[in-house]
Amino acid sequence: MTGPSDAQVIRRVLAGDREMYAQLVDRYRDRLGRYALRMLGERADAEDAVQETFVRAYRSLSRCEPDNFGAWVYGILVNRCRTNGARRARNNARMVADEAAMARASVAHTEERDTLRDAIHWALERLPTEQREAFLLKHVEDLSYETMEQLTGVRPSALRMRVLRARDGLRKLLAEAVRD
């Protein structure tokens, strides 16, 4: 990392140099955006969640332990994604008679190189939220179970089980997508 550390930036922001906060935003925006997009599925929703996260983090920066900004801001994002995802699910609830047929139709019309990515996205969306969250934090964001515990408040043993169940669920869903 070039430039000042997160802790140095936070100390300067808290001392009144508000412009320094942009360095933290630049440093974490892409990673947080990837996670939010995978959790929420819609770019606009993900961008909103990331923006809300940075606003909330800025307002609460004095409560952040400077050496732990990355985990702390991820924790805020995890909560924003949970809240936004639940709100969207309530607002967009609809009945579909045959979800598998709907998924096959959407996957069938993609280019060959995008088929696998779309199938994975489709399968991820069908996992229970807790499993999808744990899977993404572990295998996409490459976080340790201890860091995941700090972010989610869930014990590592439960997180391991969620990741294991997510893997099993993804295997089954992807096998189903390939058969169809």
Phi, psi (rounded to 5 degrees) for 142:
60, 45
The set of residues, in sequence order, having a beta carbon less than 8 Å from that of 138 and lying 6+ positions away, is: 145, 148, 159, 163
CA atoms within 13 A on the CB side of 99: 8
What is the residue whose two structure tokens read 């430039």?
A: 3
pLDDT in tens, 139-170: 888 888 988 888 888 899 999 999 999 999 98
- Decide if 69 contacts 75 (C-beta within 8 A): no
pLDDT of 15 over the 90 cut: yes
Other CB atoms within 10 Å distance of the CB of residue 149: 17
pLDDT, position 174:
82
> What pLDDT does residue 180 have?
62
Give 103's pLDDT tier (boundaries 50, 70, 90).
low
Q: Is the pLDDT of residue 107 over 50?
A: no
Residues in Cβ contact with 78 at an 8 Å cutoff, skipping those fewer than 6 apart: 133, 137, 151, 152
Angle at 39 between CA 163 and CA 119, to 5 degrees: 75
pTM beyond cutoff 0.75: no
Q: CB under 8 Å to 27, separation ≥6 — which residues?
A: 1, 6
- pLDDT of 36 > 60? The answer is yes
Inform me whether the pLDDT recorded for 91 exceeds 80: no
DSSP class of residue 138 equals: I
Query: Per residue in 48-70, pLDDT tens?
Result: 999 999 999 999 999 998 888 98
